[in-house]
Amino acid sequence: MLVGAPALYELAYTLDEDVRKLFWVKAEFDWRVPWEQESVRGYSRFVSSQVGAAGLRQFDAAAVARVVEQGARIAEGREWLSTRLVEIAGLAAEASQWAAREGSEIVSAEHVEQAIEHKVRRSNLVEQRLLEMVAEGALMVDFEGARVGQVNGLSVFSVGDYSFGRPVRITATAGPGRGALVSIERETELSGHIHDKGFLALTGYLRSQYGGERRIAVSATLTFEQSYEQIDGDSAASAELYALLSELAGLPARQDVALTGSVNQHGELQAIGGVNEKIEGFYRTCKLKELTGSQGVIIPEANVRNLMLSREVVQSVREGRFHIWSAQHIDQGIELLTATPAAERREDGRFPGGTVHALVEARLERFARAADERSADEHLAD
């Protein structure tokens, strides 16, 4: 019997004929199971087995329930539980140690919570240093006001078995041109293929939304400010599009709101990974100064099922000190950011005046006229 990752099996199967002959029965095991009553009972039995095998203290029902919640957090969803039982066993052992320190014969939910919090504290040194840089002003992040062509995107950093999110300022500039959108990260080879794919979808969105029978005569540049490491993934594509629309429309975008989500050429928001870490990262960054009651994060509606946030963030949302908005389309997000209706085309083919899309289209038309005039001048000069 061989046990290993699927990639290793595929590699061995391809390169070694003996693997095909000797290990021709293959069984795949999922890293998560549905969060159902039977799965909860399985978690309970597993914790009970750890109590007997490792000499841990007994867990009460609330403690087991908190372990189950953490299993859902690891599985990244409210409908699933993780089957990575090594992590669950480690959590149970540490929770038992906290109960022992307090002289309790029973492990409670508070002891499980302590174990979770201290595991984070042992691993979040890089995160703390970045937060200190934000507090000192070395990393520039705005938590209030509004700026044209500037938004707060969200990225996830992984340090071993610990991942955390942090806001990244994304800016956009635009002028007359030949329809080119330029990503500074792409040009400097600081982006991966998936990011490049997501960025190129923005060109398709502009063409489908504003092109029609006319050409898009714009030259725009977008970048992640103060980012010097490799960037990949398409979860910042919506933030880049929000920054671009804000710049083209001349509408200031709220700086107390952070954004995440992939976007397709039709402006539909698509699910991304690490949504809990991203929300909590922006929450912690906002807490550096003060929670104003207006701050929050816009996520794709498809990610609502993945929300398994820390108790602190959940409580802040309940009290109205922090917000989480979900959106299906880029229009919903830009309306929240700019306090301006996005609007749809009327029967005459035009957008209602004063709306986001009308302002963007009007500017693109000015760019087109400027490009035509420049072309005519160059032709006359020849």
**Domain 31-122, classified CATH 3.40.50.360, yes or no:** no
Domain-wise residue ranges, the chain: 1-27, 31-122, 128-365
CATH topology of domain 128-365: Ribosomal Protein S5; domain 2 (3.30.230)
Residue 177: what pLDDT?
80
The single-letter code of the amino acid at 139 is: L
Enumerate the active-site residues.
235, 278
Residue 222: what pLDDT?
86
Average per-residue pLDDT in the chain? 88
> Checking DSSP bridges between strand 296-300 and strand 257-259, what pairing results, if any?
parallel
Residue 31: what pLDDT?
86
Residue 216: what pLDDT?
79
The Cα-based distances of 26 to 19, 83, 375 in angstroms read 11, 19, 64
Residue 6: what pLDDT?
84
Q: Which of 305, 253, 241, 308 is nearest to 279 (CA)?
A: 308
Q: Do domains 31-122 and 128-365 have the same CATH topology?
A: no
pLDDT along the chain (382 residues), means of 10: 85 88 85 92 94 92 95 90 93 96 94 94 91 88 92 89 90 84 70 73 86 76 78 80 94 95 93 94 91 94 94 95 96 96 89 94 87 62 56
Residue 375: what pLDDT?
60
